[in-house]
């Protein structure tokens, strides 16, 4: 997605440890017009499927998924929670995901009542690095016996192995921008 690539080049900042900061437009301050274009593109890419639910993970995925959902046919967004709270009642699907940016392992959870075997699920997230967040979400979809339609990622870091792991599982993965390398402080798209 050209618009997204241009914005990454203009406003993205590279940090130590293969981290790309896009907090001025994607996951802290959010450019809603851009998120709207991102949502439109996810809809275009997955228009061959009838999707009943979008699943994401807190925190950064929520805004992206919520705006994307408006381009689909009146479907809810469910987000996996990383912190067990007293408000999270009833039975839960749980899995684990190691945070790429924080290095800690989260228990992630979704209430069973929000994901059922009748659902056709699109997973959406902001970044794909080593695939841990997606694998946790995929595990939860599989536990629920819902149909996993595929995964939509805004920025895939193609030089890390997450994309390969997911695609090797035969799961449809659509990334709107794939970064091939960030050598010498230079972002190169695939
Ligand atoms: P993974 O689980 O694929 O290793 O990493 C994906 C998760 O880590 C995403 O949900 C995202 O929040 C975070 N993440 C991974 N790489 C980056 C990055 O380069 N920049 C930012 N801002 N977040 C990242």
Question: Which two tokens mark 13?
Answer: 């900042």
Cα-to-centroid distance, 140 and ligand 1 (Å): 19
pLDDT at 17 (0 to 100): 86
pLDDT 10s digits, 90-127: 899 999 998 888 888 999 999 999 999 999 999 999 99
Task: Choose among 146, 190, 148: nearest CA to 166.
Answer: 148
Region 152-162 average pLDDT:
97
Q: Where are the alpha helices (DSSP H) in the chain?
A: 2-11, 32-45, 60-69, 132-144, 162-168
The response to whether residue 52 sits with its C-beta less than 6 Å from ligand 1 reads no
Q: Are 20 and 155 in contact (CB under 8 A)?
A: yes
- Give this prediction's pTM: 0.96
Q: Is the pLDDT of residue 61 over 90?
A: yes
Question: Which two tokens mark 55?
Answer: 């699943």
Q: Is the pLDDT of residue 142 over 80?
A: yes
Question: Which two tokens mark 160?
Answer: 């890390």
How would residue 129 be classed by pLDDT, with cut points 50, 70 and 90?
very high
Ligand 1 closest atom vs CA 97: 2
């Amino acid at each position: 997605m050209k618009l997204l690539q241009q914005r990454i080049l203009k406003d993205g900042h590279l940090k130590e440890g293969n981290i790309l900061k896009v907090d001025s437009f994607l996951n802290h301050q959010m450019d809603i017009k851009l998120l709207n274009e991102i949502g439109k593109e996810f809809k275009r890419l997955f228009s061959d499927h009838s999707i009943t639910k979008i699943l994401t993970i807190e925190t950064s995925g929520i805004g992206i998924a919520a705006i994307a959902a408006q381009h689909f046919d009146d479907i809810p967004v469910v987000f996996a929670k990383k912190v067990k709270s007293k408000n999270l009642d009833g039975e839960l699907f749980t899995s684990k995901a190691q945070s790429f940016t924080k290095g800690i392992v989260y228990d992630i959870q979704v209430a069973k009542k929000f994901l059922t075997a009748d659902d056709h699920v699109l997973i959406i997230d902001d970044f794909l690095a080593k695939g841990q967040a997606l694998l946790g979400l995929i595990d939860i979809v599989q536990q629920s016996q819902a149909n996993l339609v595929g995964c939509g990622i805004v920025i895939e870091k193609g030089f890390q192995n997450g994309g390969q792991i997911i695609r090797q599982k035969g799961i449809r993965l659509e990334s709107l921008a794939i970064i091939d390398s960030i050598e010498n402080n230079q972002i190169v798209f695939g």
